[in-house]
Amino acid sequence: MAPIVSRPWRDGDERGMEAQHVTVDERELKEFCEQVFIRLGVPPKDAKTTIDVLVLADLRGIESHGVARLPRYVNGVKAGYIKPIERSRVVKETKTTALIDGEQSLGQVVSRKGMELAIRKAKETSVGIVTVRNSNHYGIAGYYTLMALEQDMIGVSMTNAAPLVVPTFGRNAILGTNPISVAAPASRERPFVLDMATSVVPRGKLEVLDRKGLPMPPGWAVDETGRSSADPSRVLNAMAKRLGGGILPLGGEGEEHSGHKGYGLALMVDVFSGVLSGAATGLKVNAEERKPDVGHFFMALDPAAFRPLDEFRLDMDRLARELKVSPKAQGQTRIYVHGEKSFTRMERFRKEGIPLDPKVVEALKKIGSELGVKWPK
């Protein structure tokens, strides 16, 4: 039996990690990043939307998808595969559904539009489903389900992504880390906000261990032979050289811990986001430098179509409390509901400032100095 390895950068030593971080005020960080986009020709309203998604990731403690990604978006706009001026259009529509062609606009801007349309439809018909093709990376899946929550609706959001994940029994990465978010409103309890990749870990976590020269826990990734490896450097190298290998789907290697179920979830996301919208799928996502053709899926569902909203909310509360008061595992003091830790972090970071890795700050400052945008004091 493999030893249980804790995830060292997670909650346990989060405060320790933050100690080495630079703390930046939310409003100042947003202002800086928005100005960067505006200098690249993005209209202020769209710059605001994009940065809102990135900074929300940092506020919720999802550093891998926060402003650390700004350089990639800046490069995308400069390289021309992300169009600074939003050009998306609805190409097919019914009362409850719509298909949007993103026309290579910023993924966050198109996606916000997509979820807004889904919500509008749900207000009229109880459900709205919107798929998007020809888009770019949209950030955290949870941003869009939180939009549905603000309207007292259940939200679903999914996206496909560049291939990094190896199918069960395979040895080449074919699917993305294809995230799923589902959010549902509660009353006095926090809402349920599941927001997760369908892989065991994102690539960023292999890179962290590689930089530190530490081994990976078993079941995270496979090397070019298709077997689990403890060596992050070997896996990253094999992936970069396209020799094979990649991250494992949720559940890990083979069938023993149900890797095939995580693989199924990742594939499901590609069916809804890619196949249904006509976007790229599997190996084709991000395959062309000039046209990533990422696909997304958004759904808003009005619980009041089934039962009074208050009853739904109260039952969500009851369910959350049932989980939280249930007996804890030895050594544990608390059971969480999905999204709960992120809400707590958000409140703290809004008050105390957002902790950023000094390397991220350096990269942002460099972009700022190139574009004539001052880093906040």
Site for ligand NAD in 137-196 (CB under 6 A): 137-142, 159, 161, 177, 179, 181, 193-196
- Of the ranges 41-49, 264-272, 332-340, 344-352, which one interacts with ligand NAD (CB under 6 A)? 332-340
| Among 55, 100, 186, 197, interactor with ligand NAD by CB under 6 A | 197
User: Exposure pattern of 8-37 as b/e (b: 16+ CB <10 Å)?
Assistant: eeeeeeeeeebeebeebebeebbebbbbbb
Query: Between residues 88 and 159, which has the closer beta carbon with respect to ligand NAD?
Result: 159
| Among 29, 36, 42, 62, interactor with ligand NAD by CB under 6 A | 62
Least distance (Å) between residue 39 CB and ligand NAD: 24
Least distance (Å) between residue 338 CB and ligand NAD: 4
Query: Between residues 142 and 249, which has the closer beta carbon with respect to ligand NAD?
Result: 142
Least distance (Å) between residue 98 CB and ligand NAD: 21
Least distance (Å) between residue 140 CB and ligand NAD: 4
Spatial CA neighbour of 274 closest among 172, 110, 161, 179: 161
Q: Mapped to the 3 state alphabet, what secondary structure does the chain carry?
A: CCCCCCCCCCHHHHHHHHHCCEEECHHHHHHHHHHHHHHCCCCHHHHHHHHHHHHHHHHCCCHHHCHHHHHHHHHHHHHCCCECCCCCEEEEECCCEEEEECCCECHHHHHHHHHHHHHHHHHHHCEEEEEEEEECCCCCCHHHHHHHHHCCCEEEEEECCCCCECCCCCCECCECCCCEEEEECCCCCCCEEEEECCECCCHHHHHHHHHHCCCCCCCCEECCCCCECCCHHHHHHHHHCCCCEEECECCCCCCCCCHHHHHHHHHHHHHHHHHCCCCCCHHHCCCECCECCEEEEEEEECHHHCCCHHHHHHHHHHHHHHHHCCCCCCCCCCCCCCCHHHHHHHHHHHHHCEEECHHHHHHHHHHHHHHCCCCCC
- Interface with ligand NAD, residue 228, by CB under 6 A: no
| Among 71, 170, 202, 264, interactor with ligand NAD by CB under 6 A | 202
- Beta strand 127-135 with 97-101: parallel, antiparallel or unpaired? parallel
Least distance (Å) between residue 45 CB and ligand NAD: 22
Least distance (Å) between residue 68 CB and ligand NAD: 12
Query: Between residues 11 and 310, which has the closer beta carbon with respect to ligand NAD?
Result: 11
CB-based contacts of 32, cutoff 8 Å, min separation 6: 364, 368, 373, 374, 375, 376
Judged by CB under 6 A, the number of residues near ligand NAD is 24
Least distance (Å) between residue 321 CB and ligand NAD: 15
Question: Please, which residues bridge with residue 154 across strands?
Answer: 301
Query: Between residues 285 and 364, which has the closer beta carbon with respect to ligand NAD?
Result: 285
Least distance (Å) between residue 375 CB and ligand NAD: 26
Least distance (Å) between residue 10 CB and ligand NAD: 7
- Interface with ligand NAD, residue 69, by CB under 6 A: no
Answer yes or no: are the C-beta atoms of 116 and 85 closer than 8 Å: no
Q: Write the interaction track for ligand NAD spanning residues 334-353; mark x where CB under 6 A is met and - where it is not.
A: --x-xx-xx-----------
Query: Between residues 185 and 368, which has the closer beta carbon with respect to ligand NAD?
Result: 185
Query: Between residues 62 and 267, which has the closer beta carbon with respect to ligand NAD?
Result: 62
Least distance (Å) between residue 11 CB and ligand NAD: 7
- Interface with ligand NAD, residue 65, by CB under 6 A: yes
List of residues contacting ligand NAD (CB under 6 A): 62, 65, 137-142, 159, 161, 177, 179, 181, 193-197, 202, 336, 338-339, 341-342
